[in-house]
Structure 1
């Protein structure tokens, strides 16, 4: 989860931790943050995230982000 934390640090969201849930609807991140995260994830993991995967449910918490990454790596 440290890698996910680093991604949040890179977009200036240093206060978000693995213990936060409901990142989108809880107001912790917005659509601009999601696009920034997608770009960083694609660069870091050398994957392409399908447009259909860019939904709030996949950015609910660190675990769901990691699950999305793993799914895209297959």
Structure 2
């Protein structure tokens, strides 16, 4: 989780990722941020994130992002 928070902080240092549970819904992460994040996650965790996985509920909180990464690592 710590490495994920570091990646997120590099993309958007102005956002409190630990407390915000509506990152996409509130507009804290926009589509450009998501595209950047997907690339970073793929590199950092050696996973493939398909287009069907790029939905708001997978990126709305740190917990949701980590759950996505964990699920894809297990596949």
TM-score normalized by structure 1?
0.91
Q: How does 1:1-74 map to 2 (within 5 A)?
A: 1-11=1-11, 13-14=12-13, 15-74=15-74
Distance 2:41 2:60 in 1: 16
User: How much does 1:16 deviate?
Assistant: 2.6
User: How much does 1:17 deviate?
Assistant: 2.2
Q: Which runs of 5+ in 1 are unaligned?
A: none
Distance 1:33 1:20 in 2: 16
Q: Which runs of 5+ in 2 are unaligned?
A: none
Cα RMSD, aligned residues only: 1.0
Number of matched pairs:
73
